Chain A
């Protein structure tokens, strides 16, 4: 059970949060996000170097034995909240949240020892491709196939919605091997691999369509398979969902802050519009949704660190992710509305958050999918109602 004492941030955590906020205010301000968004790679290389190599954020939740800082998942969510707030364009989510977590959960010691230190130090970027349908991580959507060949495997098939799939150096890809699912590591420059960037709505995070056309990998590339992979990936999905929710939380907070600032300046009918109750109530509703989401994430992130069973963790993630998706969408929508006409312009920022809101709401379970997962547990499996 989680107690109240677990909900206070330690002085170290507060410091991490604060310094991340300051750093990103400077280094991922609106103009920089826009420049990165329009660049070829979709991210700001100097920001990435600073985050990964100077600040060591890439090693946050990676164990010390593998070159990381060995902090907890809570610290990771605090950083992500700040990145979400500033829509930081970087391969962080794909590499650290998806790539490193997948390796931590699914790989053996040798593979971890080979790859995690490179991720922790920022030398290696990575991502995960799950299936042909998208980012729901439903095992049924795995259509790529692997067949054993002399000394390794031959892989074929397609992966849609692979975050940073066209820039990541290491791709962790899920394929079917003798009917069961299996995870392979494939280098971006492997023969037969193509990664084509989708033209997507949320330009602050690129996604690609990755195709494997008879790519041959050696036998050490098979990282994990079967039931243990299923379990590992379910856990990664839950953790990635909570992590993405933290980003969404930060983005929602920024929508509110932007709106408060604008509403204090804009005068109509001889008064600043923030003095109208209709406007105040909309802002208050934004805060209610944001703080509810913050509680959901705080709870879920602490759950990760207390390592309960994966089924419960998935429910935690469902809760955090649903709240965050809906809070961000609501706040982004209200930000546009309360900015009035300028809210509809390219020049003002609300649309960037609005697009992020829609795109991220579909990852690791849309609210609709996640609600159904909870309903199955409460109604079909008749799991007792308990909020602890």
Chain B
């Protein structure tokens, strides 16, 4: 078999597996659990992720030594395409699989790898991301959550508050960026810690969001503890790890995301035809725009995957987040305009509620993982080499006292 034939055979294999397994009790998960639908059937979705694991279909891009399949980029693309085409549900484990796992593979100790990677691969241990705080959103380096080493037990003790923590209520572990050197500022003196959520010093409070559902949470730490072995990298160099992790945010997961977008646009076309709004010239033009934008996103991802394999961002890589998030936000508005007045009414038809979710949830797309404004700063400064934003000198903790 030549390479192209092998890839086609692989495509058939994935499609067949999905046909054989995404059925029976899992049938109801088709196209569910995407962004904005994160709270759909969580228990069943976890079971599904274990089903995937049994078929060796989790973490397919990870090296085999860590339980992955070590698939080539081309095959990972095929996997994501076929998974989404079959209506495979969103993964509750995606933060572990796409963010923490690769970070541990790159920076974790052998024992951290041995302890944490298998649970991610098996779909039995779920992770959430403890970056944002009330005072540290766009200005992530301003985190104030504190971590101090308890000399007697050798454990790290954590106090502070995280916010907007997606899926904390479904997770057993959180990775936390905290300040381990009192009085330090900005990027310095930070630590990257792996912290179990199921302990007395941790409280997770759901936040009700614009969709009415609760995907994200506030997480309070009050003397929470984690073992000294759970520091990734060196204490004080947490920023490096935190940024490396964000670097993994780009890449193949976009392919899968785009397939969901494709499905959503299909729903929009259907809705427009049913509501008769497909005859309105401006709706027609916007649907055409949405399709063309999707196409560009697809090509943009292929371009990114073709270049910059060394992990450095290429020009097209810089625009991806800004591009897809604005595209998706526009799709959300288009979806409801295509439904017309019916868009205001909730009925028990998922093809409609999905569009209503997209309308509402896509408002977060231009905020999460770097707001539009922050993305434009990054493009201007890193890709175009324009001057950095001026940062006023912050008063240190000492001078404030």
Q: Which residues of A contact B (CB under 8 A)?
A: 2-8, 260, 263-264, 272, 274-275, 277, 279-281, 283-285, 287-288, 291-296, 298-299, 316, 318-319, 322-323, 368, 370-375, 378-380, 382, 384-388
Given contacts A6-B302, A272-B387, A371-B285, 12 further A-B contacts (CB under 8 A): A4-B77, A263-B386, A281-B376, A283-B380, A284-B383, A291-B319, A294-B315, A295-B316, A378-B287, A382-B269, A385-B263, A385-B265
29 A/B residue pairs, CB under 8 Å, sorted by A: A4-B77, A260-B386, A277-B377, A280-B384, A281-B373, A283-B386, A284-B322, A284-B379, A288-B319, A291-B300, A293-B296, A296-B295, A296-B296, A299-B296, A316-B295, A371-B285, A371-B292, A372-B288, A373-B288, A375-B284, A378-B287, A378-B288, A379-B287, A385-B269, A385-B291, A387-B258, A387-B291, A387-B298, A388-B81
Q: How far is the CA of A5 from the CA of B387 in the complex (A)?
A: 34
Tell whether B196 is near chain A: CB-to-CB under 8 Å: no
Tell whether B278 is near chain A: CB-to-CB under 8 Å: yes
Q: Which residues of A contact B375 (CB under 8 A)?
A: 284
Closest chain B residue to A297, Cβ basis: B299
Establish whether residues A4 and B74, one from each chain, have CB atoms under 8 Å apart when the complex forms. Answer: yes
Establish whether residues A275 and B299, one from each chain, have CB atoms under 8 Å apart when the complex forms. Answer: no
A288-B319, A387-B262 are known contacts. Are A7 and B303 too (CB-CB below 8 A)?
yes
Establish whether residues A284 and B380, one from each chain, have CB atoms under 8 Å apart when the complex forms. Answer: yes
Instruction: Classify the interface of chain A: helix, strand, loop or mixed.
Output: helix
Establish whether residues B300 and A260, one from each chain, have CB atoms under 8 Å apart when the complex forms. Answer: no
Establish whether residues A371 and B377, one from each chain, have CB atoms under 8 Å apart when the complex forms. Answer: no
Q: How far is the CA of A131 from the CA of B295 in the complex (A)?
A: 31
Tell whether B86 is near chain A: CB-to-CB under 8 Å: no
Which of B291, B296, B298 is in CB contact (< 8 Å) with A323? B296
Closest chain A residue to B281, Cβ basis: A372
In B249-296, the 8 Å CB interface with A consists of 258, 262-263, 265-266, 269, 272-273, 278, 281, 284-285, 287-289, 291-296
Establish whether residues B316 and A378, one from each chain, have CB atoms under 8 Å apart when the complex forms. Answer: no
Q: How far is the CA of A62 from the CA of B315 in the complex (A)?
A: 32
Q: Which residues of B contact A260 (CB under 8 A)?
A: 384-386
Which of B285, B297, B383, B389 is in CB contact (< 8 Å) with A277? B389
Closest chain A residue to B272, Cβ basis: A379
Closest chain B residue to A286, Cβ basis: B384
Q: How far is the CA of A384 from the CA of B295 in the complex (A)?
A: 13
Establish whether residues B300 and A292, one from each chain, have CB atoms under 8 Å apart when the complex forms. Answer: yes
Query: Would you give the shortest CB distance from A330 to chain B, in whole angstroms?
Result: 14
Query: Would you give the shortest CB distance from B172 to chain A, in whole angstroms?
Result: 35
Q: How far is the CA of A292 from the CA of B381 in the complex (A)?
A: 19
Establish whether residues B303 and A295, one from each chain, have CB atoms under 8 Å apart when the complex forms. Answer: yes
Query: Would you give the shortest CB distance from B123 to chain A, in whole angstroms?
Result: 28
Which of A274, A318, A368, A375 is in CB contact (< 8 Å) with B386? A274
Closest chain B residue to A256, Cβ basis: B384
Query: Would you give the shortest CB distance from B331 to chain A, in whole angstroms?
Result: 11
Q: How far is the CA of A297 from the CA of B289 in the complex (A)?
A: 16
Q: Which residues of B contact A274 (CB under 8 A)?
A: 386-387
Establish whether residues A374 and B291, one from each chain, have CB atoms under 8 Å apart when the complex forms. Answer: yes
Q: Which residues of A contact B278 (CB under 8 A)?
A: 379-380
Q: Which residues of B contact A298 (CB under 8 A)?
A: 299, 303
Tell whether B323 is near chain A: CB-to-CB under 8 Å: yes
A281-B376, A287-B384, A288-B323 are known contacts. Are A295 and B288 too (CB-CB below 8 A)?
no
Residue of A264, A284, A371, A382 most packed against chain B (CB within 10 A): A284
Q: How far is the CA of A138 from the CA of B58 in the complex (A)?
A: 51
Establish whether residues B302 and A7, one from each chain, have CB atoms under 8 Å apart when the complex forms. Answer: yes
Q: Which residues of B contact A5 (CB under 8 A)?
A: 74, 306
Q: How far is the CA of A375 from the CA of B280 in the complex (A)?
A: 11
Establish whether residues B74 and A291, one from each chain, have CB atoms under 8 Å apart when the complex forms. Answer: no
Q: How far is the CA of A67 from the CA of B252 in the complex (A)?
A: 43
Residue of A5, A272, A283, A387 most packed against chain B (CB within 10 A): A387
Q: Which residues of B contact A284 (CB under 8 A)?
A: 322, 375-377, 379-380, 383-384
Tell whether B307 is near chain A: CB-to-CB under 8 Å: yes
Establish whether residues B305 and A4, one from each chain, have CB atoms under 8 Å apart when the complex forms. Answer: yes
Which of B288, B289, B315, B387 is in CB contact (< 8 Å) with A287? B315
Establish whether residues A299 and B384, one from each chain, have CB atoms under 8 Å apart when the complex forms. Answer: no
Which of A3, A287, A378 is in CB contact (< 8 Å) with B383? A287
Establish whether residues B285 and A3, one from each chain, have CB atoms under 8 Å apart when the complex forms. Answer: no
Q: How far is the CA of A287 from the CA of B375 in the complex (A)?
A: 12
Q: Which residues of A contact B77 (CB under 8 A)?
A: 3-4
Q: Which residues of A contact B44 (CB under 8 A)?
A: none
Q: Mark B306-335, 1 if CB is under 8 A from A, else 0.
A: 110000000110110011000000000000
Q: Which residues of B contact A2 (CB under 8 A)?
A: 299, 302
Q: Which residues of B contact A370 (CB under 8 A)?
A: 288
Query: Would you give the shortest CB distance from A379 to chain B, in whole angstroms?
Result: 4
Q: How far is the CA of A4 from the CA of B297 in the complex (A)?
A: 13
Tell whether B369 is near chain A: CB-to-CB under 8 Å: no
Establish whether residues A371 and B284, one from each chain, have CB atoms under 8 Å apart when the complex forms. Answer: yes
Establish whether residues B288 and A283, one from each chain, have CB atoms under 8 Å apart when the complex forms. Answer: no
Give the 5 A-B residue pairs with the shortest CB-CB distance, closest first: A299-B299, A280-B380, A374-B288, A375-B284, A7-B306
Tell whether B73 is near chain A: CB-to-CB under 8 Å: yes
Query: Would you give the shortest CB distance from A75 to chain B, in whole angstroms?
Result: 17
Establish whether residues A8 and B291, one from each chain, have CB atoms under 8 Å apart when the complex forms. Answer: no
Q: Which residues of B contact A322 (CB under 8 A)?
A: 289, 292
Q: How far is the CA of A6 from the CA of B281 in the complex (A)?
A: 36
A4-B74, A283-B384 are known contacts. Are A323 and B292 too (CB-CB below 8 A)?
yes
Q: How far is the CA of A117 from the CA of B13 in the complex (A)?
A: 49
Query: Would you give the shortest CB distance from A297 to chain B, in whole angstroms?
Result: 9
Q: How far is the CA of A285 from the CA of B322 in the complex (A)?
A: 9
Q: How far is the CA of A283 from the CA of B74 in the complex (A)?
A: 33
